Structure formats: structure tokens, C-alpha cells
Amino acid sequence: MVQTPPYFNAQIRLLLSSEGGQDALLISLKNADTRFTVGSEAKPLSVALDSDADVFRQLAPSEIPPSVNSIKGADSVLMVLTEQAGTGSKDTAGLLAQSFGLKNAGWVFEEGLNDHLMKNHDLVFIGLPKKKSLINQIPAPVTVEASRFVVGGQPYNNRTDTLFAAFSHPVNKNRSAAPLFSPGGDLDIRTAMKLTHYGRYSYLGFQNGKNRDKGTWPVTTSPLLFYWKD
């Protein structure tokens, strides 16, 4: 590990993943460079430094997973009104934008969404879009279907269930997208207004207005993450 001046003394957590499991240890970082050796009885798979971002440092973009805060902090957000969300979708979009502090958020019906609009905006789908490719990049443990969504193996299929999941934008890697979805189509605005208080989370599952599941996507790409190739 190499530092540039000024040099800091720090303890950095190293996580070694192998076919035998995971081993964590602390590396003492000193002076301009620090050399270390780590042994493994099983075949090593990956090694990660500071995987929990405990060290005060500037994170690389790939180390910051999409979250509620990604949408709240976006410079240009477009609310996409889907047919699935019903007649109240525009009112829901307006109140959600107000709750998130998005003073300049725009809106468009799903039928009017084109490549130019998608590329230049972070997207919030009010309801489930007909074009499933728009949300097929939502990663595990969340899956979304026409009549339900699943979070970590827990199915949500009641009309009062609600999902919000920020994920990587379908066409612009520098932006984010998220569906606000209820299997019944009639979104509970009281639940939607609570989302702003869960800023650091990537996905949220609600039942009857109460949060039942929440989490943040794991970081799989980082300059501090190394994978051994076969």
C-alpha cells in the first residue's frame, strides 16, 4: 500500500475471502509504503481493504451504491408515471418530489419516455413500468414481478405493500433509478412520505406503512477490491 504526503498512521481492515471462508485482519499503514503478507490454507478468491469504509477517505464512485440519498441529491429527476400506478400517480409523484426536496423534478407518462429523457435524468418510476428492461438491473435480494415483489426471500403481495429500490440507471452509469411500487397499484402516500428518512438505504419494503425490510447493495467493484482469476 502506498501513501502520498502527508503520511498517516492508520489501521486498515483487510478481508481475505477464500474457498475456506473469510479471514479479517488489521494492517498497520505507515510512512510512504507498507508491505504485508497474508497466508491462506485454502484457495484465495478475493481480498478487500476497508470494505466497510471505516477509514476517513474519499470514496470512489463504484464504492457508493445507489440509495434514497442518490435520488434526493440528484441534479435532475424525472418522475415516470406508469399505468400500473393508477389515476393518482401524478399527485403521488408531486408529493414524493416535495418530500425529497426536489424543487425542479419533472414528470412524464411512461409512453412519453425516450432515450434522450432517460439519459439526462435520474428516474423514479411511479408504479411498475410495462417495459421490464427499465428495472431489470435491480439486484438481489430484491425481485419485482407484476403482482408482487420479494425482498430477501420474503414475498410482498398485498395491496398495502410498498417497495422503493434505488438501483443503477438503465442507460447512464452516472445516474440512478428507482421504482415506487405497490402490487395493488394504489400507492399509500403516507408510506411514500416516509422514504426521505431512510436516506442511506438502497431498498425498502413496507407492509401497512411499517418498514419490514431495508438494506444497501453490496459493493462489488472498488479500487481496493482484488479478485483472483482462475
Q: What pairs with residue 160 in β-bridges?
A: none
Cell of 4: 502520498
Same domain, residue pair 45 and 127: no
**Does residue 163 sit in the same domain as residue 90?**
yes
| Dist CA 7 CA 3 (whole Å) | 6
| Residue-number span of the structural domain to which 17 is assigned | 10-57
The answer to whether residues 107 and 172 belong to one domain is yes
User: Which positions ≥6 away from 115 have C-beta within 8 Å?
Assistant: 171
Query: pTM surpassing 0.95?
Result: no
pLDDT score, position 60: 62
pLDDT in tens, 14-68: 889 999 999 888 888 887 888 888 888 899 998 888 777 777 777 666 667 999 9
| CA-based nearest residue to 204, from 151, 156, 139, 134 | 151
With CA atoms as reference, report the closest residue to 212 among 223, 221, 201.
201
Q: Are residues 50 and 72 in the same domain?
A: no
Task: Calculate the alpha carbon distances from 196 to 1, 72, 88, 120 in Å.
Answer: 38, 8, 20, 23
Q: What are the Cα distances from residue 169, in Å, to 61, 128, 217?
A: 14, 15, 14
